[in-house]
Amino acid sequence: MGLIERTPLASIQPVKFLLNWGRKYSLWVMNFGLACCAIELIATSTSKHDFIRLGVIPVAHGPRQADLLVVAGTVTDKMAPALKRVYDQIPDPKYTISFGSCSNCGGPYWDSYSVTKGVDQIIPVDVYVPGCPPRPEALLHGIIKLQEKIAHEDIREKWSGKLTGAPARS
Amino acid sequence: MESSPGPLPAAELTERLRARFGQDLLESSDALDQAVVRIAPDRYLDLIRTLRDDGDFACDFLDFVSAVDRGDDGFDVVVQLWSTTRRHQVRVMVAAGKDEPRLPSIADLYPGANWHERETWELFGIDFEGHPQLVKLLLPEQFEGFPLRKDFALTTRLAKPWPGEETTGEGPE
Ligand code: SF4
């Protein structure tokens, strides 16, 4: 909301490229780990898989510093308002990765009385990573997919906060 | 450290309970050398108090409170007690009734029972009389119904029936 949104500068191709390039390699991640999948997310952040080499910085001290929200695990209807609140506190532009079957669609708890059947009922999702749990490589793939998406997006639209974007699949 | 008497074998433990409760001890068995007793509902509090205070049993730790939906036979509440000094455990089963299941609360005897009874109340709809704060613990405020009852309808399953074979069996024998 501001300069970038108002100026036509951002639509000039080299400027657009540069800004998108900058942003896709500096994703400060907010870890919303809820169940088993959270362990895989943590594994991705540690030295063996090391998603810092893709420019993803673990872990934001709070949602207000974050760019990327990774929902890893089982969201319940009781937890859903808290998740929405965290999402709302992240400043635009923001991205979401839904990591694991549970947050994609309820996963093994598809018929449960308490589990939210897909986090996309509450917040917009950019990339879905399937698996129960997905391996760390799958999250790395998901991050690369997200970066491809960021590289092609219209920054003025994105910064307006109105864009939710068509989801990509990894 | 002062040495305490060792664990009571399940048969011996049941025997001593039978001596105190007689006919009110409706059933007893042992499962993996652990005493399982069923008590008449009106002696439930007496039994829990005896297990806690009597030196023979010295059950000073409450493991859990839960329930079983036995369909037409109503609800059973299950209380698991453990003695940290004697290192034995007892499982207490008690019938809570069918249509409006209720039992006295043991939250004043074991503070640890407080949340377990709240959980059992919200999931099975068993009213624990005298509980200091019987409000929802795990379910969202607006949730209606008691999801662990057998007659609770899972809405997702109405839209899409269970794809495989039922694995739950035919209910209690
Ligand atoms: S998708 Fe599987 S591994 Fe991930 S949180 Fe759900 S049950 Fe656990």
Higher pLDDT, A162 or A59: A59
Residues of B in contact with A116 (CB under 8 A): none
* Pairwise CB contact (< 8 Å): B154 & A117: no
- Tally of domains in chain B: 1
Q: Cα(A131) to centroid of ligand 1, in Å?
A: 8
Encoded amino acid at B118, one letter: R
* Pairwise CB contact (< 8 Å): B143 & A77: yes
- Cα-based torsion angle of the residue sequence B141, B146, B147, B149 in order, rounded to the nearest 10 degrees: 170
| pLDDT band, residue A18 (cuts 50/70/90) | confident
pLDDT at residue B48 in the model: 94
* Pairwise CB contact (< 8 Å): A114 & B138: yes
Q: What are phi and psi of B103, to 5 degrees?
A: -155, 155
Higher pLDDT, A92 or B27: B27
Section A109-115 average pLDDT: 89
- pLDDT mean across residues, chain A: 85
Q: Please answer whether residues A101 and A107 qualify as being in contact, where contact means their C-beta atoms are separated by less than 8 angstroms.
A: yes
Cis amide linkage into residue B172, ω under 30° from 0: no
Per the domain annotation, does B95 fall within a domain?
yes
B94 strand-pairing partners: B39, B77
Higher pLDDT, A5 or B33: B33
pLDDT at residue A170 in the model: 45
CATH of the domain at B16: 3.30.460.80
Testing ligand 1's pocket by substitution, the residue of A32, A39, A42, A74 carrying the most ligand atoms inside 8 A of its CB is A74
pLDDT at residue B79 in the model: 95
- pLDDT mean across residues, chain B: 88
Helical H runs in chain B? Answer: 10-21, 44-53, 113-124, 155-159
3-class SS of residue B57: coil
Section B81-104 average pLDDT: 92
Q: Cα(B51) to centroid of ligand 1, in Å?
A: 41
3-class SS of residue A10: helix
* Closest CA of chain B from A11, distance in Å: 46
pLDDT higher than threshold 90 for residue B65: yes
Tens-place pLDDT, residues B17-31? 999 988 888 988 888
Of B117, B111, B145, B137, which Cα lies nearest the Cα of B129? B117
pLDDT at residue A166 in the model: 43
Per the domain annotation, does B167 fall within a domain?
no
Per the domain annotation, does B111 fall within a domain?
yes
A29 strand-pairing partners: A68
Per the domain annotation, does B55 fall within a domain?
yes
- For chain A, percent of residues with pLDDT exceeding 70: 88
Interface TM-score (ipTM) > 0.95: no
Per the domain annotation, does B173 fall within a domain?
no
Task: Residue B46: give the domain boundaries.
Answer: 10-159
Q: Cα(B166) to centroid of ligand 1, in Å?
A: 22
pLDDT at residue B25 in the model: 87
- B84: DSSP letter: T
Q: Is the C-beta atom of A134 inside 6 A of ligand 1?
A: no
Range with lowest mean pLDDT among A118-127, B98-107, B161-170: B161-170
pLDDT at residue B61 in the model: 94
Per the domain annotation, does B169 fall within a domain?
no
Per the domain annotation, does B145 fall within a domain?
yes
* CA angle (A97, A101, A105) in 5-degree steps: 90
Per the domain annotation, does B166 fall within a domain?
no
Residues B125, A82: Cα–Cα separation, whole Å:
27
pLDDT at residue A167 in the model: 44
pLDDT at residue A165 in the model: 44
- State which H helix or E strand residue B68 sits in: strand B61-69
| pLDDT band, residue A3 (cuts 50/70/90) | low
Tens-place pLDDT, residues A116-161? 999 999 999 999 999 999 999 999 999 999 999 988 887 777 666 5
Count of beta carbons in the 10 Å neighbourhood of residue B146: 20
Q: Alpha carbon of A85 to those of A18, A79, A80: distances in Å?
A: 31, 10, 9
